[in-house]
Structure 1
């Protein structure tokens, strides 16, 4: 890990970032969580604050560091020297618990712009108590972990972990997160549960599954998702109101209507039905 130059400390952006990170993880909180997680018992030869920031910043600056290199760079920044066996023995389940608590704190402190008052009123009118953003990301791992954490892109990155996060936007706090192998599909990472009632779920096409949409609706929840290119729902009626030329969408398929859309906006009610089903008006 390179030592920051004098210019970096004089850089206003670097100073602001350092200030925010210090506020996010103050020393008293780091020491408290290090002891509560069992990572340290007494601060003697190991300073949890130095160990934490060195571990985070060193891995953040390079994806090819090994533990031996990490130990060497730790020797340059730590006030007290630590032997290689002692440093290696610090990578324990207790360290994992300590880092998990740090991750939860960072996720809970993510800053969002406050919603306008009228937006909040509209959500309450729809019985929406929370908006949950759901997404996942791949974290490359050492190739030796490929058996436990196989990655879908095995040729370029044989091992990877998939971090799936559910983040509450109104309460500005994580609802849940899970870690699985990189080869795991995203759809099973969103099981339908009772908590979805009164929640608006936001997710991308990786979670697209028509059966799950029905389950979310049955549970009293709401969702927003893009459509897959091969989706062709059956339209029932237009939801647009006011003056202007409107197409009679009754019993049209979405792909049949698309050529007639001038503004590329379609607000309609419909449902997913097999292509061989035709409804007859009575």
Structure 2
């Protein structure tokens, strides 16, 4: 089947609809004051900024300021010079739009997918950490160097940590595509508090980070990297003639593939105590689930 790519206008349409549903002009103005975008009465309001970025323009990042001024004049009867509009695209505007998106996402999640209390009550926070990378024109390579392995020399990475219980963003970072997820995950581990639950993608898989999360009295959930060895304590340890246990026989490696072969699609098995890595330093729990045919597509 041929893949159909959506236009920017088609991608923005659902966001525009939700903004109209959840935010009135007074609410937008209040949020703009809270974020510092609006500090005094001005002809260029929060509603004008949202309209310009979401409703009126398909690709605001490459549209000349003169054309944007014309769109404001034609749609909202708002006359602004190019320099006036340029000054309004500042840090406060970015903070306002980021907060607006965060608030909208929170409203949607809380209204459609709230967690049962018995699932989230043991945790102080449920932290979800992930990232996305996309290519940029090569002219951006000096500032946003790509991660390599593609025809484009430039790339941007957005990393986001989201708190599921409150619907708030704990951290949002934008940087070059080559930036390491592993190092960033370690930085975020330093902010983990007792009873936090950290859910991370494979890019942030780190036995050291998991151990530190555990030492902080918190919890983690992650997929297992395929190249990480899994061990269990050996019930038949080997001994020397003097009775001392041979160190190399304390653990035995678990054959994950053999376990998978015994499972039916959709079936799972829990190993309550396993040890990860060649040094067997991380004791954890492992859940093995065999995908169904539909899930593998």
- The 2-side partners of 1:215 and 1:158 are apart by 35
1:221 to 201, 209, 218: 218
Residue 42 of structure 1: aligned partner: 41
Secondary structure in 1 aligned to 2:160?
A: strand
The aligned counterpart of 1:173 is: 168
**Change over 3 Å in CA distance of 1:265–1:38 after alignment to 2:** closer
Greater share of residues in strand = 2
**Structure 1 Cα separation of the partners of residues 16 and 143 of structure 2:** 36
Find the residue that maps to 1:274 and give its secondary structure: coil
Question: Equivalent residues in 2 for 1:117-132 (5 A)?
Answer: 117-120=117-120, 124=122, 128-132=123-127
- Structure 2 Cα separation of the partners of residues 276 and 130 of structure 1: 29
Residue in 2 that maps onto 1:115: 115
- Give, in angstroms, the shift of residue 271 of structure 1: 0.9
Kept in 2, the 8 Å contact 1:109–1:173? The answer is no
Structure 1: gaps of 5 or more residues = 5-13, 238-249, 278-282
Checking the alignment, whether the CA contact within 8 Å between 2:53 and 2:60 is kept in structure 1 is: no
1:31 is aligned to 29
User: Is the contact between residue 232 and residue 254 of structure 1 (CA under 8 Å) also seen in structure 2?
Assistant: no
How many angstroms does 1:107 deviate by?
4.1
In the alignment of these two chains, the number of paired residues is: 246
Aligned-residue CA RMSD (Å): 3.6
In structure 2, C-alpha distance between the alignment counterparts of 1:211 and 1:177, rounded to whole Å: 23
Change (3 A) 1:102 1:227: same
Match of 1:266 in 2: 269
What is the TM-score normalised by the length of structure 1? 0.70
How many angstroms does 1:33 deviate by? 4.0
Contact 1:235/1:254, CA 8 A, preserved across alignment: no
Q: 1:31 to 1:220 in 2, by over 3 A?
A: same
